[in-house]
Structure 1
Amino acid sequence: MKVRPFRCWKRIVSILQCLLLAANALVTQVTTNKLVLRQHLFKKGDTDEQPIAQASVKSQAPSLDEVAIEVSTTPPSVVMQSSNNNGVLSTRPAWLRPKTMAVQGAKGVGRIKRKMMDRISKRQSTPMKVALLVEPTPFTHVCGYANRFQEMLKYMKEFGDHVHIATPDDKLEAPNEFMGFPVKTLRGQRFPLYPEVLLSLDSRGEARKMVQQFKPDIIHVSSPGFLAMSAALYAKALNIPLVMSYHTHLPVYAERYMGYIPLIRKSSWQYIKMLHSFADLTLVTSPQVMEEFREQGIRRVAVWRKGVDVDTFNPKHSSAQIKANILTNRGHEKDTVLLYVGRLSVEKRLEQLDQVLDDLKDDSVSLALVGGGPHEDALKKHFAKFGDRVKFCGILRGDTLSAAYASADIFVMPSDSETLGFVVIEAMASGLAVVGAKAGGIPSIVDDDSNGMLAPPRDPKAFSHAVKSLVRDSNLQNRLKAQARLDAESWGWKQATRHLRDVHYIAAIRRHSAIKRLTAKDRRILFKLPFISATQRRAIRLRFAFLTRDLKSFFNKTFYLAAVSKLLSKFTNRFFRRRSFTPPPRIRGG
């Protein structure tokens, strides 16, 4: 047996040296990556955090900075400084710091930002291409946001923008175009719990084909709904900025219609959070709803400004004939008319108006309900005890609706599920005193005892007391009517639409452009998880990239050092080879 102790010892030393060098390289690289990761997170900018050198607590007040992409101007030298400067702690001694770091992307940030602002200013002055996906349809379905989308399209036409519309509809009067914009009608299914609503998943891919052929600058989709999920997938697949506008307060509806299901409200919020995480910007219709979104951890939220057509809804349209023939039954032409306009559904809580009629039965007060819905038959049975004091007027449109607003005296809105309440704005523009529930988006419109009256939600007695004070005090009623009209005149659709396209759309495009600059390799590494914020996604992407690079570097260095140590051991064995020692044979005695 040949014994080579020196050669074995040399190999052990070489392997140990290799492992030590590889471990040192790995620790060095990981330590460097921590600094590089922080620089990358704040270099691209995000609404969730502040730059390293400017760490501060952000204000909770809503601002455009929360929806726009911020570009950090922190110089690379700040990150490499020791703990004596700016509080940035360096975890490695100077002799172990690498000579170069991957922070070159921070150089020239000012130039990139100036170019971005130039592109944005040019985009604001040029027509935009918008793909609008709305569910349910704003053309044949009676809903609060129908006027918003119709006025939006009216003024986008005036601004010279190009809009293609896709919406589910199964009625014969479904339009093929609106204001010169083409309308793609999608097939859908009626929602079992609310048959008035037609929903669509775009199973035939008609909306996808429209978006592919149109190649818009941005996709705007209404939420919540099935079409919003399809739009999110199209926006990600086609790499197009996505804006979601939230119009129906799903947790309140779900709790009202499916309250027997455990945790239905929490599940609804989880669905909203998942869905809106795909959006580059979420638009809500009131500051109150925005605060709820912020409390639920939904980011990149802004308020879509309200508006009203003050010429269409105007006190000058008041008509005694409309009041006598449409709003009241025979014999009640001189009554004080309480008006409600909207869907006749469970969540509107119209049953609590019977308390008002009971308390004011000696004051010649009648109630007019304008609209239709799944709860209409139940309401007719509920109000049957009041006889001809309650009239169901059906669905009114156009000039008849404007005259109905102006011919009434007081507008009542007991619902606590309104995200804004367009009918309240229309009533104020028509010169009506408004009594509403202090919930949802109504407090953002009605200022208590200034342009209307607010009552606690789900409190029929308090609501009745507010209506009674207006009926019995004509001076208070006239003062609230005058102030409501003045406030409504300051809300214009043209300014709201201009702010939508020049501020909200541009903010979404900026954010999408910043994320779009990621390399193809980074996008493959990044897991598209919808439940986390943009900063967390960027952190995951960078950590996986660094981990992959570190593992490759570790194994490569280990392999090469092992090969070099083997060559060195062969070379040294030529000079230090010793002859093998063979013991002499043992001589037996005897």
Structure 2
Amino acid sequence: MRIALFTEVFLPKVDGVVTRVTRTLEQLGELGHEVLVFAPGEPPDSFGQHRVVRTHSWSFPWYPEVMVGTPTPRIAREMHDFEPDIVHAVNPVWLASYGVISARRRNLPLLASFHTDVPSYTTRLGIGWLRAPSQAWITWSHNQAEVNLCTSDQMVRRAREVGIREVDLWPKAVDTVGYHPSRATREMRERLTGGHPDAPLILYVGRLSREKDLDQLLEPLRRLSGYGARLALVGSGPGRAELERTFAGTPTVFTGYLAGEELAAAYASADVFAFPSTTETLGLVALESMASGVPVVGADAGGIPFVIDEGRTGHLITPGDADAWTERLGQLLSDEELRARMGAAARADAEQHSWRAATESLVESYGRAIERHQDRPPVPRILRAKHPGFTE
């Protein structure tokens, strides 16, 4: 199968969506499929056996790390030469929404996947006036697709609530080879604790930005620091400077981005993973922590309950409940037997969710989109019309 994939984010950016896309590309290649990737920013020219087309892009004013891709004539030429069997729009907002339009103009089957609740982010970023128009645009884009996939049951319900049709589940997956309890090292623990490797260690991995609700960890950390607990924040983002000011005077280490073996060691070297974000559609970092044998305490919101089995692989906390955060984190930090039992259960749960199984499910969804496309009504004239400069 020949797949044209339009994504809003790609390497060298590192986040859950990029991880999902890159691991899927690896598996699609192993299954014998060919993908042409359209991506913004400064992506590599290829990923594995798949070619990557760099598109014109600019930095999003409210979130400088996000590069917004825009259409160029090259996209039309590449689509013409590649002759895809199906188009996959990953989180259509900007560039991927142009992928939606390109698929409809060319009368190609279309699958769209829903990874980030962008309208919710607009409120957190102080641009709430964009919430309604962005939601309308995203819903319209998704409803051009024959199949829409979400990465958690909670987000399937969310998508349906906002009027997105033909919604199904793209199963969760995690790398259980790269992320493993055996990756823990004394050296990494010393780094994460600021030179106090025997201290109880709470870990967070991900973007440092306002929508991740990391300030909710401040009061629990203050209370637990009396018992020697320390916090490591792995990653970076537009909120790093503000968070450094917020956590000043607390036993918190900011490591910046880690990747590869260093990131795997960071996960496995922690005692507990804290994930207070309320805007996740899945929370891949929580799965990576579980694969590393580290239990997760996360917000009972968004897609996180799809990952955590309350009381078995971790705990779910009502957002904003500092007492509950302190109690659950404290229990896991102080009770080695409980921590080991939950960590083993978390690892066992993660082992059930391979990237191969998730990608095989995606390929089945591609087939379903192609079948449905055969019964789709003709493309509206306004979408078939040639846009100046973008001959299709």
Question: What TM-score bracket applies, with the shorter chain setting the length?
Answer: over 0.9
User: Which residue is equivalent to 2:389?
Assistant: none
User: Which residue is equivalent to 2:135?
Assistant: 269
Instruction: Give 1:147 deviation, angstroms.
Output: 1.6
SS of 1:361's partner is: helix
SS of 1:505's partner is: helix
User: Which residue is equivalent to 1:329?
Assistant: 194
Instruction: Give 1:296 deviation, angstroms.
Output: 2.2
Alignment partners' CA distance in 1, 2:162 and 2:93: 19
Deviations, residues 347-402 of structure 1 (Å, cap 9, x unaligned): 0011111111111122111000000100000111111121xx11001100111111
Instruction: Give 1:475 deviation, angstroms.
Output: 2.3
Alignment of 1:496-507 (within 5 A): 496-501=358-363, 503-507=364-368
Alignment of 1:106-185 (within 5 A): 128-137=1-10, 139-170=11-42, 174-185=43-54
Counterpart of 1:218 (choices 83, 86, 109) is: 86
User: Which residue is equivalent to 2:169?
Assistant: 303
Structure 1 or 2: more helix by fraction:
1
Instruction: Give 1:239 deviation, angstroms.
Output: 0.7
Q: TM-score, normalised by structure 2?
A: 0.94
Instruction: Give 1:273 deviation, angstroms.
Output: 1.5
SS of 2:20's partner is: helix
- One-letter amino acid matched to 1:348: K
Residue 238 of structure 2 corresponds to residue 374 of structure 1 = yes
Instruction: Give 1:260 deviation, angstroms.
Output: 5.3
Instruction: Give 1:340 deviation, angstroms.
Output: 0.3
Quickly say closer, same or farther: Cα 1:160–1:481, change in 2 above 3 A.
same
Q: Percent identity?
A: 38
Deviations, residues 81-123 of structure 1 (Å, cap 9, x unaligned): xxxxxxxxxxxxxxxxxxxxxxxxxxxxxxxxxxxxxxxxxxx
- One-letter amino acid matched to 2:252: V
User: Which residue is equivalent to 2:57?
Assistant: 188
Contact 1:199 1:225 (8 Å CA) reproduced: no
- One-letter amino acid matched to 2:19: N
RMSD: 1.6
Aligned residues: 383
Unaligned runs of 5+ in 1: 1-127, 529-590
SS of 1:486's partner is: helix
Q: TM-score, normalised by structure 1?
A: 0.63
Contact 2:89 2:97 (8 Å CA) reproduced: no
Contact 1:164 1:181 (8 Å CA) reproduced: yes
User: Which residue is equivalent to 1:425?
Assistant: 287
Residue 93 of structure 2 corresponds to residue 228 of structure 1 = no
Counterpart of 2:273 (choices 411, 414, 428) is: 411
Deviations, residues 394-447 of structure 1 (Å, cap 9, x unaligned): 100111111111111100000000000000000000000110000011000101
Contact 1:368 1:390 (8 Å CA) reproduced: yes
SS of 2:310's partner is: coil
Quickly say closer, same or farther: Cα 1:527–1:224, change in 2 above 3 A.
closer
Deviations, residues 144-202 of structure 1 (Å, cap 9, x unaligned): 122211111111111111111110123xxx31111121111111010000000001121
Alignment partners' CA distance in 1, 2:346 and 2:115: 24
Alignment partners' CA distance in 2, 1:209 and 1:439: 43
- One-letter amino acid matched to 1:159: L
Alignment partners' CA distance in 2, 1:266 and 1:283: 22
Instruction: Give 1:229 deviation, angstroms.
Output: 2.2
Contact 1:429 1:484 (8 Å CA) reproduced: yes
Between structure 1 and structure 2, the one with the greater Rg is 1
Alignment of 1:347-362 (within 5 A): 347-362=211-226
Structure 1 or 2: more strand by fraction:
2
Contact 1:368 1:391 (8 Å CA) reproduced: yes
Contact 1:224 1:248 (8 Å CA) reproduced: no
Instruction: Give 1:271 deviation, angstroms.
Output: 2.4
- One-letter amino acid matched to 1:200: G
SS of 1:252's partner is: helix
User: Which residue is equivalent to 1:54?
Assistant: none
Alignment partners' CA distance in 1, 2:134 and 2:45: 34
Deviations, residues 303-340 of structure 1 (Å, cap 9, x unaligned): 1111111110000111011111x21212x111111000
Pick which of 220-229 and 431-440 moved more: 220-229
Alignment partners' CA distance in 1, 2:111 and 2:322: 38
Alignment partners' CA distance in 2, 1:164 and 1:266: 32
